[in-house]
Amino acid sequence: MVAGNSLWHLVVQTDAISKSVLVSLLFMSILIWTVFLCKAFLFYRKKRDIQAMIEKLSSVRTFNELIVMAQQNKDTLPGYFLAQSVVSIERVLEHEQSGYQSSRAEIKEHIRAALEQEIDLLVIWQEQYTPLLSTSAVISPLLGLLGTVWGLIHAFMSISQTHTADIATVAPGIAEALTTTLAGLIVAIPAVVMVNYVTAQIVHIEQQLVRIADYVMVVVQRSIIHKKENICVDLAVGEQKEVQQ
C-alpha cells in the first residue's frame, strides 16, 4: 500500500509531458484489452461453430444437403462460408453451362479457386483490429522511452540549476523516467502476447475453413462433377450478410 501511494504521488508530481505519455499509455492499454477480450470471445464462438459444422459435414452426401445445411447455419461463420461457397459453385456451373466446355479437372480447379477466395475474404475479416494490437506493442515502449528521455532531461536541468549532483536533486527526474518506462512495458508485454494469440487463432480458423472446403469439394465431386445429382438451388445468400467480426 505504501509503495502504491508513493507511485501515485510520483505520477501526480510529474510534468505535463510525462502525464500526457502516461495517459496515452493508459488509453492504449484500455483499448487493446477491450479489443483482445472481444476477439477472444468471438474466436471461442467461431471455433465452436466450425467444429460443429465439421461434425455435421461428415454425414453429408449430396449437394442439396449441403445447401440445406448452409440455410440452417447461415448466422454463423462456417454457415456463412458454406452459403457463399454454394453461390460461388453455382457461378462456376452457370459459366460452364453458358457454352464453355471444360474438363472435370478444370471444373474442380475453378471451384477450388472460388473456395480459396472466400476463405481469404473471411481471413481478412478476422484480422480486423489486429494491426491495432501490433501497433500498440511497438509504440508503447517508444512512448515509455520518450518519458524516460524527458525525465533524464529534467534530472540534468535540475543539476544545472542547482549546481549540485546529489541524490535529492536528480532523484525526481530519474524516478519520473523510470515510471514512464515501467508504464510502457506494462502495455507492451501483454500486447505482444495478444498479437501472438490472435494470430494463432486466425491461423487455426483458416485451417478449419480449409477443412470445410475439402468436405465441400468431396460433395461437389460426387454430386456435380460426376453428374450423380440434379441440382436445384434456391438460396437467398447473394447479399453480403455481415458476420460478427
**Least confident interval from 20-29, 96-105, 184-193, 222-231:** 222-231
Can you give the pLDDT at residue 8? Answer: 62
**CA atoms of 82 and 84, how far apart (whole Å):** 5
Q: Locate 88 and state its grid cell.
A: 460461388
For 180-237, how does the pLDDT look when each residue is reduced to its tens digit (9 = 90+)? 888 899 999 999 999 999 999 999 999 999 999 998 888 888 776 555 344 444 433 3
Q: Give percent of the chain above pLDDT 70.
A: 73
Can you give the pLDDT at residue 202? Answer: 95
Can you give the pLDDT at residue 49? Answer: 92
Can you give the pLDDT at residue 19? Answer: 80
Q: Could you give the C-alpha distances from 114 to 86, 167, 201, in angstroms and in order? A: 10, 69, 23
Cβ atoms < 10 Å from Cβ of 43: 18
Q: Where are the domains of the chain?
A: 2-225
**Least confident interval from 67-71, 100-104, 167-171:** 167-171
Residue length, the chain?
A: 245
pTM here? 0.78
The distance from CA 65 to its chain's CA centroid, rounded to whole angstroms, is 32
Average pLDDT of the segment spanning 54-62: 84
Q: Sorting pLDDT into bands at 50, 70 and 90, what band is 2?
A: very low
- Please check the confidence at residue 165 and state whether its pLDDT lies above 80: no
**CA atoms of 188 and 242, how far apart (whole Å):** 32
Can you give the pLDDT at residue 234? Answer: 40
Can you give the pLDDT at residue 196? Answer: 96
Can you give the pLDDT at residue 235? Answer: 37
